[in-house]
Structures are given as structure tokens and as C-alpha cells.
Structure 1
């Protein structure tokens, strides 16, 4: 049985890309102390939980998703003691912290991989997915080979410097002796090593993990059955030792992840969710042009929602380090309406740092640490109008990623003082969500319309709220609406004699 941490019921997460958040030692790279320094800012916004992208020792070929040492904070970010202090300071403020766990692969510089490359057998020989011949590559996966005396090819995830850890094959091919079962010694040792890593950081004060590509661990995995069983094994361990540790999966299939023991699952920006139909396509649904469509998203969401047995534990982020910024396709008014949707859906919402002020995608940047097209979404947080937008006192050329050079770039300080700003709207919406149990993580949802406007009903703890989201720049009317308007975004609405009139580029919430 999965034990649900109570704090997830009203959690609103803030995702922090540590490299680009706040630099306190003037080296051009954000650090752990910089996050601690800004906890009050995050708290004042209304977010009560944080997800920190990988902050462990790494050669940074993939921005930290290529881990060299799971037990050590990367020196450029600080020390383990700095991270423990961050946990403590967050807890003092009633906040919780998730670390980013990367269980599927390591860096080629990890000591496990260095040992696995040796020709003679040792305890790490089977820690990774190796074939038994340099001339044989793993089916359906890229590989690295010819790099050591060991005769074999090693499967990789994503980049060629990310060797795949071995959790076994759900159905090993009997003609390929190198394909190990989940119960073989190597895969079992890998799983126990994963538990040890989790045990270490949970004991240090972490509140749980966001798990990178959680559904990809077991190979040749029929309908995810092997990976589900693996995570059920982890859940059993957590229930015994850390029953209140929160687990959020990057899986994209909530029916599988929740059965596996996760509390929540992300809708991914790729695959069948149609998430990008809303925000990032040629005609986004949230564009005021009104040429987009939410229909396929709604149908996919309803299907996934049903598969979670009505738990609704599906996280919809504003964006993340792998996506274009919202502001690349939406203007400020459109983002207001988009946030009205994001912050009133079931599951915990996730706000990517800077999205609350409408930070832009920085165009035409040279790739930084494996970012490639994603680099433009990883620019430094814009805190104020001072030197380097308040991110760092280093020389501009030392910054991890160049800043948005626009003279009118948004910043947190200015928007915090402006009651009409996007940040103030986001803050108001978070507060609105927290004051109304129907709008929180576990409240029910029923879609009433998937066109323009998007209409859905949220229910919870005896409360019922109808949400009417109208991105299109056109006034519309809805008949037979009963109740009172309790919150509006954008250009407003009126409700008289059962007729709701909502203006274009607006959202309205009616308590029924």
C-alpha cells in the first residue's frame, strides 16, 4: 500500500535549475546557498515545495543528469552540509524539498562504470547493461564500445556518455546470454544501490524524490510490468523506513506509476498526453487567436484520470528545463489565463523558475552542457534590474548561460511590487487554490466543455467550483450557471439570472 504524505494534498512546487538560480560566490554558476537565500521569495509567492534538478557531482555533459557520485553535492554548488542546511531552512518555513533522482544511468566517470569496464570480473561487472561481444549491440539501444579491455558493448541512455544501469530484462532472450533477468545478482545489486542512495538523502533531510524517466529501467519490459514490480519493491522499502517520503515520477503513464507506488506522475511534453497542444505548438490552445484545440488533451487526461482510479494525481507543469519557456508562444495576458488553468487542476502544480514572471526563451544560444535547443530555457533567473539581473556579481562572460539581453526583460523585484504583474496574478491564484479544498491536489474533476471556453467542475470537501477558462479574445456566454463568482483572471465576467458572460482572454471561477 502506498502511504500518501499529507503535505502533498496542497503542495505547489517550484522547480529550481540550480545552475541558473542564484550565484552567491561570484563564479557565474548558481549554488545551494543561493537557493537557501531565496527561500523567502519562493514562500512569499505561495509555493510550499521545491524540486531541485540534479545537484550531485558530475562532469556535466548533460547538465548534471550524468551523475558521477550520487552521495556528494557537486563542488560548484557547495557541500553536503549546504544541502542539509537548505533542507533545515525549508522545513522551518513549512516547505518540503524533492531531489532529482537519476536511476537509469550514470556518467562514464562514475567509479561503478570504471570498474565495470575491466576485463576481470568484479562486483560492478554486471552493474550496467553490457553485451558479451564488442560486435554485438543491445537491441533497440545505442551503445559505447571499444573503450576498454572488456569484450562487449555497453547500452547507453540518451547521450553516448550515459551508460545504462542494469536492472535486468523482464523477458531475457534465451539466445542472448548477456541479457540478465531482474532476479540475477547484478540487477539486484543495482536495485539495492538505488535504495542506499535514497536512504542516504532521506536520512539527511530530503522529503522525497522526483525520479527521472522512472518508467525506463527494466529492459524488454512488456507493458511496464517489470519496472512496476521494481518500484513496488522500492515502495515496500520506503513504507518500512521512510513512509512519508514523497515520490513523483517522470513516467507519463499514471496508471503504471501509481500502481508502482508513486504518489504523482508528470504529464510529459512528448508522447500521447497532448500537453503541448495547450502551450507549445503553432496554434496553442491558450493563444487569444482561438485557433487551437484542447479536445485531444482533455480526452487523454480523462483516460489517464480514470486509470488513477479517480485519484487525479497527475502533475501539469508550467514548463521545465527540457521545454521552451511559456513566453516563447504566449504573451502576458495569455500566460495569465494559462496559469489560471495550471493552478486549478488536480495533482500538484509545478512552476518552473522564472515562469511566474514570464521569463523568455533566449534565442540562438550555443549549447551549454548538453542543453542544445533547451539552452534558451535555462538562462539565469532575473531577480532585479541590477548587475546581471541580480543573478551574479561575476563578469557577464562567466555566467552559466547568457542572460536575456532585452532591455524590457521581466524581473522578480519589479513584479513583486506591481499588483497588476504576472507574478502577482500567479501569487493570487496560488492563494486562491489554497483557500479552496476543491481546487487542491485530490479534488475531483469533471470536464463540461473542451472547446472555447474550457469548462470543468472541481469538487472536494463539500465544495463545488466551476472553472471557465476563455483564452480566445472574444466574449462568450454560458447559460444555466448557478452560484457566485469568487475569482476572475483577465478582463472579467458577470453572472446574472443564471447567465455567465465572460470576456475574452479571461478566466472565472464560480462557487456552486
Structure 2
């Protein structure tokens, strides 16, 4: 049986600082801008704030390329500002977790500056260096941001590995001195009072030491080598050591971002008896609308695939590990544009998706703007985009590869990471109240209709619906701890499930379509409702909980026995 913990009962809110709130008029969100809006988050009902990186960085990948782990990026403010933010978060009874990025650093980090200076420098082995092979890269791995995962460095005539940007060299976790330096840094933050870490691509830190070529049946120049660096040979040893040396000494929350993890592996990562992490972010449900050629190959979501994936994870981790629940983050497009309808049924479908997610077992994560139903953006020019992944892909496909501009732009409109990174829409004033200056990225032009001020004032808004969902979670232990049972696995429009806890049951029914559809509770399911907990439509005199017609994107949650 799952043990009770504060982090299981919490709702987390992710802040992308660059796009949240600018107080010093440079067009970039800052730490004081977060402090200024803490009452808004407290009013929403948030327990934990997860801060995307605010460390010193040249900003090649929006702060995920760190040049000093113990300093704050000048654009975001000072360490004094950060200390004040932490105090103010704690004063409101909330907690703060930081982004821990230790698969790689910036190439401007002092460790790397030393490492590349000579082959016998004490820091050489902090990174992964190899000689070339037949005048080529050491292997055929492709970077996540396109091109080779290796960069030649003329000074010492060797290549270094970078699974992301060439300004993000991978750290060598085989080196015990490096690990101790990272653990010291983690303790430094925890001693300052942070309440935990979200760990960036943490299952990449153990690579197959042979760094072999990846299979390449299509004879491409570079191919993904994920099987050689995701969930690698020493990953559990490293995470157990990190827990023993650091995490076990503090009452903190940990969640590891883990592309390519499956249920069985996730159970190992999150089983408390193994003493590694508490939760993982897995990506299976985020890949269901991708075709065989990956993220930019668009395909329609088949709801049966989503049911299969969610059910596998809900049942697979129940009683052993713990799920993190999310539909949005800084790397994903806006969910209301993706799995909902961001035009005619924007408010309704945003509420439906929130209901579907927040009634599952696990810890829910809300990404900034999700709670007001912010949507994807369509910039006309590629020059208005900022994300390195988008720009590299466009260069490779359109400029170098002669792909169709309009088709590639459609893929960017659907899946680009900048959909999540447009400035937060606070009100209907210029630049959506985000800044008085030219914003670092253009604001989505629908801010006049979609903004926090409007949402807070409208009791039927997405915002107030999220408040209600969060409050229900606090009032009903079944939402946190109940088990999960899928209903109607083959229905292509309705996603319905039961939760059971002690003598209570919840029936969750959501319509993922813009049609009116009939719901009939299967005869072999025993459920009698005694209360409609929440719905996103006004339900008049509805007495039958066994059979009813759902309106487009309708969601209902009944409590009963």
C-alpha cells in the first residue's frame, strides 16, 4: 500500500521564469516578478513551485546550459532576490523546488574551460572526450537538437560528447570526483532551504562506456543512440548514491525527467525501498500524436492509445512507485490546442482535460498559463521563433533540405516548444501585462480575450475550475490514494475510469470529442452515485448516473459507493 507523503498530496506549478513576469523593464521575466505573483499562485491553491533554471548561463538553451550552479543569471536578478523569493514562498506555506541540470553543463562552465585546456588537466575527465575514428566523429550518435552529438575541439584534437547543443557538453559521471562536486552543489542549495529538485534528463547520466555506433539500417549520417545512454548500465547505482549522500538527509521532493523510460524501469526508479527518486516524468503519452518519423511527423491522437498508456502507468506504479501527472510543460505545446479545441470549445475542453488529469493517481503538475487556458501560437515568420530545437530543425529541413516551408511551419505551430514559452498573459494591456518593454518573445495575440485578470474575475473561467479541482484533491483522499480502473477501453470518444479507496468510489467520465455522445456504465461495474463532485457543464435535474448524454468536451466526476 502506498505510504502517505506530503509530495503525493501536493499540486505543483511550473514557472518558466523568462516568460512569467518582468519587473525591471528589460522584456525578460525575473525572480522579483515571480515574488510579485505569489499571492496569485497561493489563491489558485498551489503547494509547490517548480522553477525552471535561473542559474548563471549563456542562454544557448534558455538556461539549461549552466555556467555556474551557485549563481543567478543576471537577467533574472541576484541571489538576494532569490533568497527573498524563497522566504516569501515559505511564508505563504508553499514550497520551492529547483531544476537540477547535471547531465551536462555549459561549455563556459569553469570545469569545461579547464577540461578543454589540455589532455592532462585535472578536469579533463569531468567530460566525455574521445579521439576521432577514421577522420570522423567517434560514433554516429545524433544530438537531440539535430546534427552530430560530437564536437571537434582543435586545441587538443579530440571530440567531446554533447547530447544536446554543442554548447552543452555532457558530464562524465564515471568520474567519482565529478559526482562528489555535484553532491556538494546539491547540498549547498538544500541547506539554503530548497524543497527538492526536478532533475533534467537524469536517466542520461550513465552511458555505455564503449560508446558504440547506433544501428543505422537507413544509412543516415547520424542516428539516435538512446539505447546507449538512456537508463544506462550504472544509472541506478548513481541515483542510489545521490540519495544516500544527499537526498536522504532532507525532507524533499524529487522527480526525474526520463525520456525513454518504461513502466518496469520506472518502478525501480520510484520504489521507496530502492532509495532512488520519488517520481519520474515519462513521455509515452506525449508521443502518441507523433508519426513514425518522430515529433514533427504529425498524426491525430487515437484516444484508445491514450487510455492504454495512462492505464499501463496508473496500474503499473500503483502500490510500488508514484506517478507524476502532466499534460503541459516548457517542452510541450499547449494541451488545449493539442488534445482539446482551442477555438469554439477552448474553455470547456481545457476544463475537461484538467478533470481527466487531476482525478488520476499521482502528483499533478500545472504549467504556467495552463490554468487560464493559454493556447498555441502561430507566428508568421520563422524569425519570430527563439527555440534552438525549432530553428535547427527548420535549417535542416527547409534551408538545407528543400522541404516545404508551409508544411514545416504547420509542424512548428502544432509541436514547437515556443508554444509554451510565449509570455504569460496577465491582462489585456499592452504586451499582456507581462512587460513595459519589448518582450523577449512576441506575446500571443489572443491575450485580449485570454488573460489572468479576466479569468480571476469570471467565476466560470478555467482558472476557477482549476481552483475547485485542487481543493477537491485536498478534501478527498480518494483522489490522491485511490486505485484506478479503466472503463470502456475501446470507446473512441469517452475516457472514463473508476477510483476506489476504502469504502468510496469515484466515477470520472470525460468526452474527448466535439460530439454529443451517450455514456452507459457497463453492467459489470457496481457504482451508485451520491454526489456530483464537479462538472464543466451546468447539469439540470440529472438523476441517472448509469446512463447519460455528454455534451462536447463534457467532464463529470461522481462520488459514490
Contact 1:443 1:460 in 2 (8 A): yes
Contact 1:113 1:128 in 2 (8 A): yes
Task: Classify 1:217/1:85 alpha carbon distance in 2 versus 1 (closer, same or farther; 3 Å).
Answer: same
Specify the alignment match of 1:24 in structure 2: 23
Specify the alignment match of 1:70 in structure 2: 69
Structure 1 CA distance for aligned equivalents of residues 55 and 323 of structure 2: 27
Offset from partner CA, 1:51-93 (integer Å, 9 cap, x none): 1111101000100011111111101111122212211111111
The range that moved more, 295-304 or 66-75, is: 295-304
Matches within 5 A, 1:337-356: 337-356=352-371
Specify the alignment match of 2:386 in structure 1: 368
| Normalised TM-score (structure 2) | 0.79
Task: Classify 1:297/1:111 alpha carbon distance in 2 versus 1 (closer, same or farther; 3 Å).
Answer: same
Structure 2 CA distance for aligned equivalents of residues 318 and 446 of structure 1: 20
Task: Classify 1:138/1:349 alpha carbon distance in 2 versus 1 (closer, same or farther; 3 Å).
Answer: farther
Structure 2 CA distance for aligned equivalents of residues 16 and 428 of structure 1: 21
Structure 1 CA distance for aligned equivalents of residues 290 and 556 of structure 2: 23
Structure 2 CA distance for aligned equivalents of residues 256 and 162 of structure 1: 28
User: How many residues matched?
Assistant: 477
Matches within 5 A, 1:191-270: 191-220=179-208, 224-242=232-250, 244-252=251-259, 253=261, 254-259=266-271, 261-268=276-283
Task: Classify 1:476/1:112 alpha carbon distance in 2 versus 1 (closer, same or farther; 3 Å).
Answer: same
Structure 1 CA distance for aligned equivalents of residues 11 and 387 of structure 2: 29
The 3-state SS of whatever aligns with 2:506 is: strand
Matches within 5 A, 1:266-415: 266-268=281-283, 274=288, 293-311=302-320, 313-329=322-338, 330-331=341-342, 332=346, 333-364=348-379, 366-368=384-386, 370=388, 372=390, 373-394=416-437, 398-406=438-446, 408-415=448-455
For structure 2, list consecutive stretches of 5 or more residues without a partner in the other structure.
142-147, 209-227, 391-415
Specify the alignment match of 2:169 in structure 1: 163
- The offset of 1:405, in angstroms, is 2.3
Contact 2:200 2:256 in 1 (8 A): yes
User: Aligned to 1:482, which of 515, 528, 532?
Assistant: 528
Structure 2 CA distance for aligned equivalents of residues 215 and 449 of structure 1: 35
Contact 2:163 2:169 in 1 (8 A): yes
Contact 2:369 2:424 in 1 (8 A): yes
After superposition, the CA RMSD in angstroms is 2.6
Specify the alignment match of 1:11 in structure 2: 10
The 3-state SS of whatever aligns with 1:350 is: strand
Structure 2 CA distance for aligned equivalents of residues 389 and 207 of structure 1: 31
Structure 1 CA distance for aligned equivalents of residues 353 and 298 of structure 2: 16
Task: Classify 1:213/1:240 alpha carbon distance in 2 versus 1 (closer, same or farther; 3 Å).
Answer: closer
Structure 1 CA distance for aligned equivalents of residues 93 and 503 of structure 2: 26
- The offset of 1:219, in angstroms, is 0.5
Matches within 5 A, 1:33-44: 33-44=32-43
- The offset of 1:146, in angstroms, is 4.0
- The offset of 1:16, in angstroms, is 0.5
Offset from partner CA, 1:264-296 (integer Å, 9 cap, x none): 11132677x63879xx99776xxxxxxx53322
Structure 1 CA distance for aligned equivalents of residues 373 and 78 of structure 2: 32
Contact 1:5 1:245 in 2 (8 A): no
Structure 1 CA distance for aligned equivalents of residues 140 and 502 of structure 2: 48
Task: Classify 1:409/1:209 alpha carbon distance in 2 versus 1 (closer, same or farther; 3 Å).
Answer: same
Contact 1:267 1:275 in 2 (8 A): no
Specify the alignment match of 1:127 in structure 2: 126
Task: Classify 1:104/1:112 alpha carbon distance in 2 versus 1 (closer, same or farther; 3 Å).
Answer: same
Task: Classify 1:502/1:6 alpha carbon distance in 2 versus 1 (closer, same or farther; 3 Å).
Answer: same
Structure 1 CA distance for aligned equivalents of residues 444 and 189 of structure 2: 35
Structure 2 CA distance for aligned equivalents of residues 369 and 457 of structure 1: 40
The 3-state SS of whatever aligns with 1:215 is: helix
| Normalised TM-score (structure 1) | 0.86
Structure 2 CA distance for aligned equivalents of residues 463 and 391 of structure 1: 44
User: Aligned to 2:484, which of 439, 445, 449?
Assistant: 445
The range that moved more, 71-80 or 307-316, is: 307-316
Matches within 5 A, 1:6-155: 6-133=5-132, 135=135, 137-141=137-141, 142-155=148-161
The 3-state SS of whatever aligns with 1:401 is: coil
Offset from partner CA, 1:449-508 (integer Å, 9 cap, x none): 232322211233543212111233214132454122322323355654663314222111
Structure 1 CA distance for aligned equivalents of residues 472 and 156 of structure 2: 59
